[in-house]
Structures are given as C-alpha cells and as structure tokens.
Amino acid sequence: MSDHQTLRPVATRRLATLAVLLLGVGASQARQAEPSPANPLSTPDASGWVQTTTPGGRIDRNNAFFQGLGSNGRSCDSCHRQAQGWSVTPQELRQRFERTSGMDPVFARVDGAVSPLADVSSLEARRSAYALLLDRGLIRVGMPIPANAQFRLSAVDDPYGYASARELSLFRRPLPSTNLIWLTAVMWEGRETFTPFNPPMDAGIDVQNLRSSLARQARNAILGHEQASRAPADAIIDSIVEFELHLVTAQVDDRDAGRLNEADALGGPAILALQRFWVGINDTLGNDPTGDAFDERAMHLFDSWDDPGQSGSDRRGRARATIARGEKLFNSMRIDITGVAGLNDVTGKTVIRGSCSSCHNAPNIGNHSVPLPVNIGIADAGRRTPDLPLYTLTSLATGKRVQTTDPGLAMITGKWTDIGKFKGPILRGLASRAPYFHNGSAATLADVVDFYDSRFHVHMSAQQKRDLVAFLSAL
Ligand code: HEC
Ligand code: HEC
C-alpha cells in the first residue's frame, strides 16, 4: 500500500486530461468506424452493436492478455471477451461447453465449478459442476474470513458442501476489462485498489495508483484464475495493463434508434474516449475537489433526442425519444434511498431524496466517482436463490446475526458495517454483457429496473420502465 496517494488538486488536473493523454485519443478514435460484420471492432449484441476503440484502431491479439500464462490453458480472454463487453455471457459459455463437451479451459475446477472438489469426470458431472457458470456466468471467488473480523461465521448453508470460514465461496460476475481508465475501485468490493476505502471518502486514485492496482490485479489473476506456479515477469504484466487500459467500449448502434451519435447525440465509444473525468467529479456528497456542486444530470448523452420536432414521428424517431426519456428518468426520477449502508448511515439521513445518478454519478460513465462501496441489498438473504451458499455472520461485539450470500467489502476490512457493500460499476456497454449485479441475479436490464422499483418502492409505470431499459441498452 506504499504508493497510495490521496487526492490533491494537482492529481485532479492530471486526471482531467488523462483520457486524452493516456488513451492517445486521436484521429482513429474520433472517427467512429461503421459497425458491420466486417469491422472487427464492433460486434452484434442484444439491442444492436457494441464497439471497442483503441488508439491504434485495432485489437492487438498478440498481447499477453490473449495468451495462457499459467498451467490450465486459460488466458484473460477466457473470461473477458470483446464481443461480450469484455465480460462473458452464460449464452457464450454454454456454446463453449457444448462445443468442447465442457473441456474448454474456462471450465476449470479451481473457480469455474461450484466447488473445487466437484466431480468433473463425465459430461453430465461437468454439466452440474459448472452449473453456475453456465446459468449465470458466475466465477467462484474463494476468500477466508479475515483474521481481524468483527464477526464470526456462525453457520454455513453451502449446497455444494465446501465453504467454511477458511474459504467462503463467493460467486461473482467477471467485471469488464475495459473502460478501466475511469475506475475508482478495482474489483466488486474494491479489493485490488491501492487506496484505502474508508473512512476518507475523498481518497482518490491517480494514474500511478490505477496502474499499480491493475498490475496487482493481473498478477493475481494469473496466479489464481490461470493457476500459474509463479508470477510472470513485470514486463508481461505491464504489457497487459497497457493493453487493457487503452480499451474503450460502448454501445454504438441501436436496432431501433440507429447510430447512437447521430443527430447530435453523444453515444458510442469514440465520444466516450474524450469524456472529462477526475476522481470526485460530480460527487453526490459535495466532495468534488473543484468545489462544484453535485448535478443530478449525470447522464447527458441523448439530450438532443428529447426534441420531438427533431426526432420525428417515424419508428426511429420514436425510439430516439424513448431513449431520451429514459435518460431523464435516470437523472431525475425521484428515488427515496433508505437503508443503504455506506450512504444513509454515513450521511446520517434516514431518507435521501435521490435518483439513479445519486450513486451512478460519474458523468456519462455511470460508476461512483469516488471509491464508495454501498449495500443496496443484492446479497441479502431474502434474495437468495437455492443455488447460492448462504452465510450466517454473528457480530462479536453485539451478538447480532445477519445472513448474506456475499459479505462483500467486509471480507477485506473485517468490519461489521461493511457487510454486503459493493461498488457501483461502470454503466457502459451494458447490452452486451447480461446478466447484471455481482451475482448475476438480474438476467436482463428489465430485471435490473424491476429490482430498483421494488427495493426503493418507486412505483414506476410500465412506460417508465420501458424508457429506462431503452436508455440503459443504449449505453
Ligand atoms: C476465470 C475467469 C477469469 C479470468 C481467467 C480472468 N478474470 Fe478478470 N475477473 C474475473 C472475475 C470473476 C472478476 C470480478 C471478481 C471480483 O470482483 O471479485 C474479474 C475482474 C477483473 C478486473 C476488474 C475490473 C473492475 O471493474 O474492477 C480486471 C481489470 C480484470 N478482471 C482483468 C483480468 C486480466 C488482465 C486477466 C488475465 C491476466 C483476467 N482478468 C483473467 C474473472 C476472470
Ligand atoms: C443507492 C445507490 C444506488 C442507486 C440509487 C442506484 N444504483 Fe445501480 N448500482 C449500485 C450498486 C452498489 C451496484 C452494484 C450492486 C451489486 O452488484 O451488488 C449497482 C448496479 C447497477 C447495475 C448493474 C451493472 C452491472 O455491471 O452489473 C445497473 C444496470 C444499475 N445499477 C442501474 C441503476 C439504475 C437504472 C438506477 C435507478 C433506477 C440505479 N442503478 C440506482 C448503486 C445504486
């Protein structure tokens, strides 16, 4: 943790120009290539086309990212696929399973199976051993209860008979290995970030810190997921970090609305690569280092499509108007935020009158602009499905008990109040990488919207839900 740096204005200014300098944004990126089957930068997805840009205008398939560096034949590309927004979908995994009878390297017992001891000796055995990977694209992250924890594991209900305090099985979705330049926390609970998570909410991550975080992440991925016996040379790690740090991904074309950067709209990866950003930008709690107040209009990609005159009344025009309405709802639809650890307790407010952008505040990117993991309840016992382990934790101080499928940040800090906290991920390229949330519990973007509607009692109309989904699909 030696090279952690807290945010200072100088670091801030550096970050503001970061995307332009580091991504080498130039002619190749400003020109958005036409999405087509012939263009290797774009691939079809659930609602149109997703596209990745790089400064050189091509994906370097010779990079170590695509090479097996360990003992099980896996590479980063086993779980981070360009065509799936640099995550991986159950649909593609099922195709890989059928094609290889479950022998593709991604199907490795260490963390691809429901238990590292699962029977994988026959095709049918493999089908059940890899059920969570095939159903929801979940990888098993094994972690011990930290030694200093303020709680103990008082009961385990693991359908696969493996988990214990020595190693909890936490089933999580691969986060996209793209758009990394805007990360403020690395991994779902931020464990690979070099910055302390709490309490200082203004602690940031500068370029050096981000590179160090990603280097450590890559090294651990090679030792863990790829089962290497020792860490590869620093030069290899650096080349992987350099590669992934330059990827920018977003939806570029919508089946109904057409090109997402037409008629003055700002969708697509070429414009995203130019996005202004610094740690703390548009901070909800007033900690933007520039002193600017929080603006709930965090997303302003499709303002120009809000004009019925311009959109027209044809199918395309109506689709554009729908997306624009969804963006407005994202920014301003009232959500009474209650019971969110990391937010309501930190601010001392039982009810925060907010919106989606209260938490997804980084302009046009959609993650938290500070490392602020919060608990919105995805891992709550009440939402547990029988195929996930359930853990009962007991507070050493008070004897209080809580049940969860994933303690999240508490597995790193050992703090009782950090149970169930996860970061708000970047919201670009969503349509290419269902399912959503850390445990893949939302199969579609409509399920995501339904979750928020019931969790925060928003009472959205069917029309509002459709508008929001259309907007999220266009990111
Ligand atoms: C077996 C599947 C698998 C392989 C192989 C794999 N990853 Fe991942 N990756 C994951 C999962 C799962 C997560 C999320 C884990 C978590 O947060 O607990 C993740 C998270 C990440 C993140 C964090 C992104 C963010 O938003 O915080 C990066 C970056 C990343 N991986 C890069 C890599 C690189 C580089 C390699 C190769 C050296 C690699 N991964 C290999 C499954 C994999
Ligand atoms: C109180 C903070 C908060 C609010 C309000 C909020 N989110 Fe989230 N959002 C999060 C967190 C935290 C996660 C990750 C949760 C997890 O996986 O455990 C998340 C995850 C998501 C994801 C999944 C991304 C992925 O890669 O899996 C989507 C999509 C999303 N939010 C959209 C929305 C929309 C739309 C709204 C408004 C209706 C909204 N959020 C309101 C905090 C919030």
Which sequence spans correspond to the domains of the chain? Answer: 9-89+173-378+422-473
Give the helix ranges, DSSP H, for 374-444.
410-413
Q: Which of 406, 374, 258, 232 is nearest to 318 (CA)?
A: 258
CB 408 within 8 A of CB 373: yes
Tell me, what's the pLDDT at 31? 54
Q: How many CA atoms lie within 13 A of 264 on its CB side?
A: 9
Tell me, what's the pLDDT at 24? 56
Residue whose CA is at the smallest distance from ligand 1 atom 1: 225
Q: Which of 343, 355, 353, 362 is nearest to 425 (CA)?
A: 362
Looking at all shown ligands, the one closest to residue 176's CA atom is: 1
Is ligand 1 within 6 A of the CB of residue 415? no
Q: What's the first-to-final CA gap in the chain, in angstroms?
A: 34
Tell me, what's the pLDDT at 46? 94
Mapping DSSP to helix (H, G, I), strand (E, B) and coil, where does residue 45 land?
strand
Expressed in angstroms and rounded, the spacing between residue 221 Cα and the centre of ligand 1 is: 7
Tell me, what's the pLDDT at 3? 31
Pocket probe mutation, ligand 1, options 175, 368, 437, max atoms within 8 Å of Cβ: 175
Looking at all shown ligands, the one closest to residue 137's CA atom is: 1
Assigned token pair, 307: 């004009």
Is ligand 1 within 6 A of the CB of residue 241? no
DSSP calls for 171-186? EEPPPPSSSGGG-SSS
Which distant-in-sequence residues (6+ apart) come within 8 Å of 48 by Cβ?
A: 35, 251, 252, 253, 254, 255, 431, 473
147 φ, ψ to 5°?
-60, -35
Looking at all shown ligands, the one closest to residue 465's CA atom is: 2
Is ligand 1 within 6 A of the CB of residue 343? no
| Host H or E run for residue 234 | helix 234-245
Assigned token pair, 183: 């990360």
Mapping DSSP to helix (H, G, I), strand (E, B) and coil, where does residue 16 land?
helix
Residue whose CA is at the smallest distance from ligand 2 atom 43: 359
Assigned token pair, 258: 């057409």
CA–CA gap between residue 184 and residue 180 (Å, rounded): 9
Residue 74 DSSP symbol? -
CA–CA gap between residue 83 and residue 36 (Å, rounded): 13
Mapping DSSP to helix (H, G, I), strand (E, B) and coil, where does residue 70 land?
coil
Whole-structure pTM over 0.85, yes or no?
yes
Read off the amino acid at residue 185. Answer: A
Expressed in angstroms and rounded, the spacing between residue 351 Cα and the centre of ligand 1 is: 35
Pocket probe mutation, ligand 1, options 72, 78, 177, max atoms within 8 Å of Cβ: 177
Expressed in angstroms and rounded, the spacing between residue 186 Cα and the centre of ligand 1 is: 10
Expressed in angstroms and rounded, the spacing between residue 424 Cα and the centre of ligand 2 is: 6
Greatest alpha-carbon pair distance for the chain in Å reads: 63
Q: Could you count the other beta carbons within 10 Å of the beta carbon of residue 205?
A: 27
Is ligand 1 within 6 A of the CB of residue 365? no
CB 440 within 8 A of CB 137: yes
Looking at all shown ligands, the one closest to residue 342's CA atom is: 2
pLDDT tens, N- to C-terminus, the chain (475 residues):
333 333 333 333 334 444 554 555 544 444 566 788 778 899 999 999 999 999 899 999 999 999 999 999 999 999 999 999 999 999 999 999 999 999 999 999 999 999 999 999 999 999 999 999 999 999 999 999 999 999 999 999 999 999 999 999 999 999 999 999 999 999 999 998 876 433 233 444 567 788 889 999 999 999 999 999 999 999 999 999 999 999 999 999 999 999 999 999 999 999 999 999 988 899 998 888 889 999 999 999 999 998 766 666 799 999 999 999 999 999 999 999 999 999 999 999 999 999 999 999 999 999 999 888 999 999 999 999 999 999 999 999 999 999 999 999 999 999 999 999 999 999 999 999 999 999 999 999 999 999 999 999 999 999 999 999 999 999 9
Tell me, what's the pLDDT at 193? 86
Q: Which residues make beta-bridge pairs with 392?
A: 155, 403
| Host H or E run for residue 466 | helix 462-473
465 φ, ψ to 5°?
-60, -45
CA–CA gap between residue 122 and residue 101 (Å, rounded): 9
DSSP calls for 117-154? T---SSHHHHHHHTHHHHHH--EEEEEPPPTT-SEEEE
